[in-house]
């Protein structure tokens, strides 16, 4: 008599099931072969050092700023190129103008903060004065000697605190005046630099038109405008 056996059902792996990752096993594997990591690090350092010693190529960078406008030798024609661009001077003037404007804004911001702090201290001073007056009034209308002594002591305390607050308020007032003066001093050259930049831009435009039209009188106008811009750029720092 034979018995039929049923095949066992096969279990398919659950792909969505979470599997634990044994990080310790990988750490132990790396720890047992630590010398490989150290050897690779030393080999890389030695190779990099040898490559650095064997390299003979040296990179250098230079920059030259040309001021002015050259002419050709034969026909006295204006030569315009990247290395002789008159806008270089305008860019320099524009940079200094923006720098002075930013410094003026920063100084003015500090002045505003000091002014606000001084205002807070003066308000605090007024509050102490009000409390002192109330304490003096209470001492004047009271008949109890103990309360009179208490109110008088409070009035003296408020008066002493007022002096400290007043010193702090005056210190912030002085700081406000100093920062405000620095702001005005920094903004002074900005106006001249702005006009100087405008004249230089006019000079650049006239020089470009001169190249196209070959009109010499435009060149004189460009030179005059450039000269005025240069003069104002110097006057800005005087």
Q: What is the mean pLDDT of each run of 10 residues along the chain (238 residues)?
A: 55 54 68 77 80 62 56 53 55 72 83 89 89 87 84 87 89 89 79 78 79 78 79 74
Q: What's the CA gap between 227 and 196, in Å, rounded? A: 9
Write down the pTM of the prediction: 0.47
Q: What's the CA gap between 147 and 237, in Å, rounded? A: 67
In this structure, are residues 124 and 165 in contact, taking their beta carbons and an 8 Å threshold?
Answer: yes
- Confidence (pLDDT) at 58: 58
Q: Residue 134: which H helix or E strand, with range?
A: helix 87-141
Between the alpha carbon of residue 104 and those of residues 2, 98, 238, the distances in Å are 106, 10, 17
- Confidence (pLDDT) at 26: 66
- Confidence (pLDDT) at 82: 47
- Tell me the DSSP string of 164-218: HHHHHHHHHHHHHHHHHHHHHHHHHHHHHHHHHHHHHHHHHHHHHHHHHH--HHH
Q: What's the CA gap between 139 and 159, in Å, rounded? A: 15
In this structure, are residues 232 and 199 in contact, taking their beta carbons and an 8 Å threshold?
Answer: yes
Q: What's the CA gap between 193 and 100, in Å, rounded? A: 9
Q: Residue 116: which H helix or E strand, with range?
A: helix 87-141
Neighbours of 67 (CB within 10 A): 10
- Confidence (pLDDT) at 136: 86
In this structure, are residues 232 and 202 in contact, taking their beta carbons and an 8 Å threshold?
Answer: no
């Amino acid at each position: 008599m034979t018995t039929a056996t049923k095949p066992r059902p096969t279990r398919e792996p659950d792909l969505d099931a979470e599997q634990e990752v044994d990080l310790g096993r990988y750490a132990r594997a790396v720890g047992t072969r630590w010398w490989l990591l150290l050897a690779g690090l030393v080999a890389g350092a030695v190779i990099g050092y040898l490559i650095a010693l064997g390299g003979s190529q040296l990179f250098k960078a230079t920059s030259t700023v040309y001021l002015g406008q050259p002419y050709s030798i034969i026909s006295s024609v204006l030569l315009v190129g990247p290395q002789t661009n008159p806008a270089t001077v305008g860019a320099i003037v524009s940079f200094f103008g923006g720098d002075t404007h930013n410094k003026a804004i920063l100084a003015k911001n500090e002045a505003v903060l000091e002014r606000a702090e001084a205002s807070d201290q003066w308000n605090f001073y007024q509050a102490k004065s009000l409390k002192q007056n109330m304490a003096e009034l209470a001492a004047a209308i009271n008949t109890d000697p103990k309360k009179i002594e208490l109110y008088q002591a409070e009035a003296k305390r408020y008066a002493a605190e007022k002096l400290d607050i007043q010193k702090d308020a005056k210190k912030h007032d002085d700081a406000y005046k100093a920062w405000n003066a620095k702001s005005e001093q920094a903004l002074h050259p900005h106006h001249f630099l702005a006009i100087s930049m405008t004249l230089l831009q006019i000079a650049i435009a006239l020089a470009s038109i001169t190249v196209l039209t070959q009109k010499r009188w435009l060149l004189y106008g460009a030179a005059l405008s450039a000269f005025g811009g240069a003069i104002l750029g110097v006057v800005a720092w005087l």
